[in-house]
Amino acid sequence: MSAEAAKIEKKAEKSVVKHGKKVKRFPVVSLIIVILGSIGVLVPVYWMVITAFKPSTELFSIPPTIWPKNFTLQGFKNVIHLYDFPTYFLNSMIVVCGSTILTLVVSTLAGYAASRYNFKGKGAFLGFVLVTQMFPSVIMLIPYFRILRMYHLINTYLGLIIVYISFQTPLCTWLMYSYFKTIPKELDQAASIDGLNHWGIFWRINLPLAVPGLASTAIYSFINSWNEFQFALTLTSSERMKTVAVGIGEMLDDTNVFYSDMMAACILASIPLIIFFFFGQNLFFAGMTAGSVKE
């Protein structure tokens, strides 16, 4: 008995020592893996940025120049003056912000209801929210094309906003539902004893507490709508109404466009998302994972 105990103790001691060693030195292999991964991520990004600043003649030098010999902003100038990029940008902003705000209103209310109340058809409602994730979005493409045509909403902001709301609402509802579930219900009881009605409990107690979840859901919805390409491509045909994604997608079809211009356009199109990368990243991922991890 005692021999066994001693053995275990010895083993434990050994593992502590081992552990202590581990704390001091991080395994080099792991570090190398992460560094290689980072290089793999950064090289394409670097190549995009560097190409955007090259003059178009330098694109075709063999071997390619790793660092541009002549820095130029010509690519950016072309994109703005020749391709009407500011209009695309404005279109995207209107459509994406409009749909994101409306989606948030709808999905916050629904997510809150599902987390707090037991209403008729709640199970079916939540099930349906998840099922919509499985719909291949192309199945909606032709019906939407036809429906928007019927109501003369092709080539309008409203048309695209409606489509984007329909895409974002289900998963955003689910995200808000997960987030509201993490807010303790005891607060509701206290507030209800203090005489707040249902709306008051939602508006004054739960909504302020859900701001991080709200922010990350908003970022998610924004990114997804900003990324959307297929529906914007199909449902807008006039040059005036193109979104950024469609605008740069169509630059690619034009064989006369230089890659330096295209990369400049790519950088401009990424700006809103890169802002989130720098300023909203932690918030975003905290909100995204809050519900799923605690479940």
Partner 1 sequence: MPSQKNQALPNSETKALKIRKKGSLTQDWVGNLFSFPALFVMVAMVVYPLIYGIVISFYNTNLINRFEFVGLRYYGRLLTDMTFYKSILLTVWFTVVTVAGRAVLALLFSSILVKDNMPCKKLFRSILVLPWFFPDVVIGIVWKWLFNTNYGLFNFILQSLHIIDQPIEWLSNPSTAMWAVIVASIWKGFPFMMVMLMAALQTVPKDLYEAAELDGCNSFKQFQHVTFPGIMPVFSTTMMLEIMWCFKHFTMIWNLTKGGPVDATRVVSIDIYKTGFEYMRFGESSTRAVIVFVIIIAFTLLQKFLQRKKD
CB burial string 95-106: b at 16+ within 10 A, e below: bbebbbebbbeb
Binding residue for partner 1, selected from 17, 45, 90, 211, defined by CB under 8 A: 45
Q: Which stretch binds partner 1 (CB under 8 A): 67-75, 76-84, 206-214, 258-266?
A: 258-266
Residue type, 155: N
Residue type, 205: I
Q: Which of residues 72-91 bind partner 1 (CB under 8 A)?
A: none
Binding residue for partner 1, selected from 154, 214, 241, 269, defined by CB under 8 A: 269
Q: Does 287 bind partner 1 (CB under 8 A)?
A: no
Q: How far is the CB of 69 from partner 1 (least distance, A)?
A: 15
Q: How far is the CB of 20 from partner 1 (least distance, A)?
A: 11
Q: Which of residues 146-175 bind partner 1 (CB under 8 A)?
A: 146-147, 149, 162-163, 165-166, 169-170, 173
What track of x and - describes contact with partner 1 for positions 105 through 144 (by CB under 8 A)?
xxx-xx-xxx-xxxxx-x--x--xx-xxxxxxxxxxxxxx
Q: Does 3 bind partner 1 (CB under 8 A)?
A: no
Q: Does 62 bind partner 1 (CB under 8 A)?
A: yes
Q: Which of residues 215-244 bind partner 1 (CB under 8 A)?
A: 223, 226-227, 229-230, 234, 244
Q: Does 285 bind partner 1 (CB under 8 A)?
A: yes
Binding residue for partner 1, selected from 6, 7, 10, 37, defined by CB under 8 A: 37
Q: Does 209 bind partner 1 (CB under 8 A)?
A: no
Q: Does 47 bind partner 1 (CB under 8 A)?
A: yes
Q: How far is the CB of 81 from partner 1 (least distance, A)?
A: 20
